[in-house]
Amino acid sequence: MLSIKNLEVSIDNKVILKNFNIEVKAGEVHAIMGPNGTGKSTLANVIAGREGYEVLNGDIIYKGKSILESKPEERAREGIFLGFQYPVEIPGVSITNFMKTAVNEIRKHKGLDPMPAGEFLSMLKEKKKIVEMNTTLASRSVNQGFSGGEKKKNEIFQMAVLEPQLAILDETDSGLDIDALRIVAHGINSLKNKDNATIVITHYQRLLDYIVPDFVHVLYGGRIVKTGGKELALELEEKGYDWIKQEIDI
Amino acid sequence: MQDNTDKILNDVTQNDYKYGFVTNVETEIIPKGLSEEVVRLISEKKGEPEFMLDFRLKAYRHWLTLKEPEWAHLSIPEINYQDVIYYAAPKKKAKIDSLDKADPELLETFAKLGIPLEEQKILTGVAVDAVMDSVSVATTFKSTLAEKGIIFCSFSEAVKEYPDLIKKYLGSVVPYTDNFFAALNSAVFSDGSFCYIPKGVRCPIELSTYFRINAANTGQFERTLIVADEGSYVSYMEGCTAPQRDENQLHAAIVEIVAMDHAEVKYSTVQNWYPGNKEGKGGIYNFVTKRGLCKGFRSKISWTQVETGSAITWKYPSCLLMGDESIGEFYSVAVTNNMQQADTGSKMIHIGKNTKSTIISKGISAGKSQNSYRGMVKMTKRAVNSRNFTQCDSLLLGDKCGAHTFPYIDVNNKSSIVEHEATTSKISEDQLFYCNQRGIDTEQSIALIVNGYAKEVLNKLPMEFAVEAQKLLSISLENSVG
Ligand SMILES: Nc1ncnc2c1ncn2[C@@H]1O[C@H](COP(=O)(O)OP(=O)(O)OP(=O)(O)O)[C@@H](O)[C@H]1O
Ligand SMILES: [Mg+2]
């Protein structure tokens, strides 16, 4: 589904990612961990097509095609979803209206007519249940005045509505209380199927107790320096990143 | 990364007015220029009674002593008032026999705005008498109003049919001495609307100039007078979201509203006159004087406006809160793009006790436009225990436009409270990317964000108007290709 080869990315002339490689297949869950400031969010943004990043080398192949030239909205319509580390507030725009616009844009891309209002509203209702989102929250403006945890829940709610093929969740677990973490993780799991793939970026192995990854990658120095199974996350939790740094920084 | 956003915003908002259409109208005109003779001629052509001619002449003589106001944050090209034609009676509209023959681009715009087919026919000049539905709508409309004793007619008709009401209220809120443009309008106004709601009557329908078929072509020097008698209510809608082009560059309208005890008037405007091209050539100069007098106890007047058109807008819908416990409201969205200039806002003059006013102004500037809010709140000595709340927000799209705020606050008693809040914001790259990431392109993202920003005001519009106004905001900021 996603194949990143030899990717080199800079921002403001500073190289953040270099020799970055990853291979993600349908049905898989990948976890990416790594110290602060190593480029995890950068990676997520570059896959989603955010402007301001310069791709100096390599390629991003999604569903068999290079997407480097596609606009962010085109990538989104093709099924790439980014759960933001810091979701932004959009005053005055209700979540319902926002989602309606998004859903219909994606449908238009697929050659479908806009979803009838009734059908859309009952679909929203179903999806709200998945993340146990309360109704008053859903009628408010996008992220405006939401608590940190509510913003993250809202990201997963949107993911549930849009049903992406490739979801990249950037620290969706940070800022969540224990119950919310369980709910969000349950939401992510219930959206998982054999045709979609998930990349979770996280600092904590506790999320991986709920969402069991097929692979855990450690990002350091702009590339993946170690890949393992779930046990790698446990090891990191125990020892921190220093042992990896020592292993790498020869 | 803000540079980047600016670039995107600039690209998206550099659009031309898409609605360039001119209907050829056969007219009876008088020579250019303004003189006492011309004023007499206008009055005569309209077959007006003596008192109207007197009013016009006094206004004209006063106008001669005035100079154009210069305090606005506008650069107004010199206007040669002797080069204007002050009277043109519409004879016959050029007619086409079906919508298929109308400008396709215009039809596309109508479709985007969601304007009903019948209305499209009228706007494109499809022979109106062939439009059965609209005629019957207008007829049922008239009889509904008549049953309630509501008067709603053209100003010319009112001068003849209801001279006593006109004599009593004409110029009672906006005297011809008020300002340069008010004097000019008073001398030469062509036509407009008159509306009277009798005691205790709630007007059951939104009154709209659209239903008054003879309202066409009175745009240049229009005059509206609305009188709401004790305990009555009316909601009045002016203009339409449909594009309006006029060969007359200079527009100077007057709207006067009087509200008696417990009466309420809601006045909503959508203004979409031709703004000129991208370089700032052409476009309407719109100098409007709108004022409401809350004359009675607990009377209430609300102004709601969505302004997207005109090259120059000079407009300050105001309320004189004379009655005790009266309420004045002003809700405004003003969009300027390309080379447009707007200096708009409100005046709330508190005279009665326990009076209340609210001003919510949302300016949106794009392109190289200049958008100014100018507002005055005055609490007189008598106006004890009065309150005003003003919120004045500016949204900038791109970095070549300007937003300015000019508040004037004058409080002459100790028990009144005036609150003023102002914010300036930009659409951030973060917001755009967030929307893009959900599959929404940049143009539509801007439309979403702008509509969200203006929501508080749009919510005040009558339902059907609000839906159209939302689409209008998007279109006004849309790219010409797309
Ligand atoms: N717009 C920018 N301009 C300059 N430097 C940037 C910009 N965005 C990110 N960086 C830098 O790029 C590096 C990688 O940042 P990134 O946000 O990808 O890290 P991260 O791995 O997601 O960190 P965290 O775990 O703290 O979320 C950091 O050093 C950061 O300061
Ligand atoms: Mg990050």
Residues B151-173: tens digit of each pLDDT = 988 888 899 999 999 999 999 99
Q: Cβ A106–B439 below 8 Å, yes or no?
A: yes
Q: State the Cα angle at B240 between B195 and B183, rounded to 5°.
A: 55
Mean pLDDT is lowest, of A45-49, B221-225, B276-280, for B276-280
Sequence-separated (6 or more) residues with CB below 8 Å from residue B171? B55, B186, B256
Q: B205 falls in which pLDDT band (50, 70, 90)?
A: confident
**Quick check: B301 and B271 in contact, CB under 8 A?**
no
Between CA A138 and CA A216 the distance in angstroms is 33
Cα separation, A28 vs A22, whole angstroms: 12
Picking from B430, B437, B459 by the largest number of A CB atoms within 10 A of its own CB, the best residue to mutate is B437
B118-140: average pLDDT? 47
Asked whether residue B25 carries a pLDDT value surpassing 50, the answer given is no
Contact B385, B354 (CB under 8 A): yes
Residue B459 contacts A where some CB pair is shorter than 8 Å: no
Reply yes or no on whether the pLDDT at B109 is more than 80.
no
Contacts of B454 in chain A (CB under 8 A): 92
* Residue B441 in contact with partner chain A when CB distance is under 8 A: yes
Two tokens at B229?
A: 């008698």
Chain B closest-CA separation from residue A209 CA (Å)? 29
Cα A38 to averaged position of ligand 2 atoms, centre (Å): 8
Contact criterion met (CB < 8 Å) for B434 and A84? yes
Of A193-207, B2-16, B20-34, B208-222, give the range with the top mean pLDDT: A193-207
- B467 part of contact set with chain A, CB < 8 Å: no
Q: Which residues of B touch A41 (CB under 8 A)?
A: none
Ligand 1 pocket residue status of A11, Cβ below 6 Å: yes
Distance (Å) from the C-alpha of residue B143 to the closest C-alpha of chain A? Answer: 37
Alpha carbon nearest to ligand 1 atom 2, residue: A11
Using an 8 Å Cβ cutoff, are B198 and B150 in contact?
yes
- Secondary structure of residue B202 in the 3-state scheme: strand
What confidence tier does B204 reach under pLDDT thresholds 50, 70, 90? confident
**Could you identify the atom of ligand 1 that is nearest to the CA of residue A203?**
25
Question: Residue B87 falls within a domain, yes or no?
Answer: yes
Full domain range(s) for residue B198: 2-472
Q: Which helix (H) or strand (E) holds A66?
A: strand A65-66
Q: What letters, b where the CB count within 10 A reaches 16 and e where it falls short, cover A11-43?
A: beeeebbbebebebeeebbbbbbbbeebbbbbb
Q: Rounded to an integer, what distance in angstroms lies between the CA atom of residue B388 and that of residue B357?
A: 5
Structure-block tokens of residue B147:
């049953």
In tens, the pLDDT along A1-48 reads: 999 999 999 999 999 999 999 999 999 999 999 889 999 999 999 999
**Residue B454 and residue B462: Cα distance in Å, rounded?**
15
Spatial contact of B72 and B343, defined as CB atoms under 8 Å apart: yes
Q: Which of B144, B132, B157, B123 is nearest to B46 (CA)?
A: B157
pLDDT at B475 over 90: no
What is d(CA B423, CA A91) in angstroms, rounded to the nearest whole number? 13
Q: How far is A250 from chain B (nearest CA, A)?
A: 36
CA distance A97 to A90: 12
Q: Report the C-alpha dihedral over residues B257, B262, B263, B269, rounded to 10 degrees.
A: 70
A92 touches chain B (CB under 8 A): yes
Higher-confidence residue: B21 or A192?
A192
Token digits for B70?
Answer: 């210069």
For position B28, what pLDDT does the model report?
Answer: 62
Q: With an 8 Å Cβ cutoff, are B430 and A141 in contact?
A: no
Whether B482 is covered by a domain: the verdict is no
Q: Could you tell me which residues are beta bridge partners of residue B342?
A: B313, B371
Q: What is the pLDDT of residues A119-167, one digit of tens each?
A: 999 999 999 988 888 878 878 999 999 988 889 999 999 999 999 999 9
Of A17, A40, A220, the residue with max ligand 1 atoms within 8 A of its CB, to mutate for a pocket test, comes to: A40
pLDDT at B192: 85
How many secondary structure helices (H) and strands (E) does chain B include?
12, 21
Q: Are A55 and A141 in contact (CB under 8 A)?
A: no
pLDDT at B449 over 90: yes
Q: Evaluate whether B214 touches B163 at the Cβ level (below 8 Å).
A: no
Quote the strand ranges of B324-455, DSSP E. 327-336, 341-350, 356-365, 370-379, 387-396, 402-411, 417-426
pLDDT at B128: 36
Q: CB A105 to CB B441 under 8 A?
A: yes
Please indicate whether, in this complex, the C-beta atoms of A73 and B455 are within 8 angstroms of each other: no
Q: What is the mean pLDDT of residues B420-439?
A: 94
| Residue nearest atom 13 in ligand 1 by C-alpha distance | A37
CB B174 within 8 A of CB B256: yes
Q: Using CB atoms and an 8 Å cut-off, which of residues 245-274 of chain B contact chain A?
A: none
Q: Is residue B478 part of a domain?
A: no
Please indicate, yes or no, if residue B480 is contained in any of the structural domains: no
Query: Which residues on chain A are in Cβ contact (under 8 Å) with B433?
Result: 48, 50-51, 72
Which pLDDT score, from 0 to 100, does residue B399 have? 84
Total of domains in chain B:
1
CA distance B461 to B300: 16
Residue B132 has pLDDT above 50, yes or no: no
Report pLDDT digits (tens) over B359-397.
Answer: 999 999 988 889 999 999 999 999 999 999 999 999 998
Q: What is the mean pLDDT of chain A?
A: 91
Q: pLDDT tens digit string along A58-112?
A: 999 999 999 999 999 999 999 999 999 999 999 999 999 999 999 999 999 999 9
* A15 at interface of B, judged by CB pairs closer than 8 A: no
| Ordered DSSP codes for A176-199 | --HHHHHHHHHHHHHH--TT-EEE
Domain ranges (residues) in chain A: 2-89+164-248
Nearest to B279 by CA among B311, B247, B313: B311
Question: Would an 8 Å CB–CB cutoff place A93 in contact with chain B?
Answer: yes
Cα dihedral: A149, A152, A156, A158 (round 10)? 120
Determine, yes or no, domain membership for B91: yes
B251-255, B430-434, B453-457, B460-464 — which is least confidently predicted? Answer: B460-464
Stretch B138-154: mean pLDDT: 80
Share of chain B above pLDDT 90, in %: 50
Q: B-chain residues within 8 Å CB-CB of A72? A: 433, 436-437
Give, for ligand 1, the residue of A42, A54, A173 to mutate: max count of ligand atoms closer than 8 Å to Cβ: A42
Residue B439 has its nearest CB partner, among A51, A91, A102, at A102
Q: Is the pLDDT of residue B435 over 50?
A: yes
The confidence score (pLDDT) of residue A123 equals: 93
At A142 the pLDDT is 94
- Given an 8 Å threshold on Cβ–Cβ distance, is A73 in contact with B440? yes
DSSP assignment, residue A114?
P
Helix axes B442-458, A95-109, angle to 10 degrees: 150
Whether B477 maps to a domain, the answer reads no
Nearest residue by C-alpha to atom 30 in ligand 1: A37
For residue B315, which of B50, B9, B74 has the smallest C-alpha distance? B74
The pLDDT of B221-243, averaged and rounded, is 87
Asked if B449's CB is within 8 angstroms of A52's CB, the reply is no
Contact present, B109 and B18 (Cβ < 8 Å): yes
Largest CA distance in chain B: 68
A236-245, B130-139, B229-238, B447-456: range with lowest mean pLDDT: B130-139
Band of pLDDT at residue B135, cut at 50, 70 and 90: very low
Could you tell me if the CB of A40 is within 6 A of ligand 1?
A: yes
- Average the pLDDT over B218-243 and give the result: 84
B1 Cα to the center of ligand 2, angstroms: 18
Query: Are the Cβ atoms of A92 and B452 closer than 8 angstroms?
Result: yes
Counting atoms of ligand 1 from 1, which one is nearest the CA of A35? 25
Task: Note whether residue B391 is domain-resident.
Answer: yes
Tokens for A60? 């991003």
> What CA–CA distance (Å, rounded) separates B123 from B127?
10
B437 in contact with A, Cβ within 8 Å: yes
pLDDT at residue B232 in the model: 98
Six token digits for residue B464: 């059907």
- Residue with the bigger pLDDT between B110 and B239: it is B239
Answer whether A53 touches B (CB < 8 Å): no
pLDDT at B282 over 90: no
Provide the mean pLDDT of chain B. 83
Of how many residues is chain A composed? 250
Q: Look up the pTM and report it.
A: 0.82
Instruction: Give Dmax (Cα) for chain A.
Output: 61
Tokens standing for B207? 């009154």
Q: Write down the residue that tokens 């205790």 correspond to.
A: B200
State the Cα–Cα distance between residues A142 and A98, nearest whole angstrom.
8
- Please tell me the distance between residue A46's alpha carbon and the centre of ligand 1 in angstroms: 12
Cα of A146 from ligand 2 centre, angstroms: 20
B479 lies in a domain? Answer: no
pLDDT at B362: 95
Band (A168; pLDDT cuts 50, 70, 90): very high
**Who surrounds ion ligand 2 at CB < 5 A?**
A 40-41, 85
CB contact under 8 A, B430 and A88: yes
A17 Cα–ligand 2 center, Å: 13
The Cβ of residue A58 has, within 10 Å, a number of other Cβ atoms equal to 17
Please name the residue that has the structure tokens 């039809």: B107
Yes or no, beta carbons of A90 and B449 under 8 Å apart: yes
Q: Which fold has domain A2-89+164-248?
A: Rossmann fold (3.40.50)
Cα separation values, B240 from B90, B120, B150, B209, Å: 20, 12, 23, 9
**Nearest protein Cα to ligand 1, atom 1:** A11
Q: Does B433 touch chain A (CB under 8 A)?
A: yes
User: Is there a contact between B297 and B324 (Cβ–Cβ < 8 Å)?
Assistant: yes
- As a whole number, mean pLDDT of residues B122-126 equals 52
In contact, A109 and A71? CB cutoff 8 Å:
no
DSSP label at residue B244: B
- Three-state DSSP at A115 gives coil
**Chain B interface includes A145 (CB < 8 A):** no
What pLDDT is recorded for position B348? 98
Q: What is the mean pLDDT of residues B316-330?
A: 97
Q: B452: which chain A residues are within 8 Å (Cβ-Cβ)?
A: 90-93, 141
Per-residue pLDDT tens digits for B300-322: 999 999 998 888 999 999 999 99
- Per-residue pLDDT at B215: 38
Contacts of B322 (CB under 8 A, 6+ apart): B293, B294, B295, B351, B352
Q: Does residue B106 have a pLDDT over 90?
A: no
Are B217 and B245 spatial neighbours (Cβ–Cβ below 8 Å)? no
Banded model confidence at residue B105, pLDDT cuts 50, 70, 90: low
CA distance B239 to B254: 14
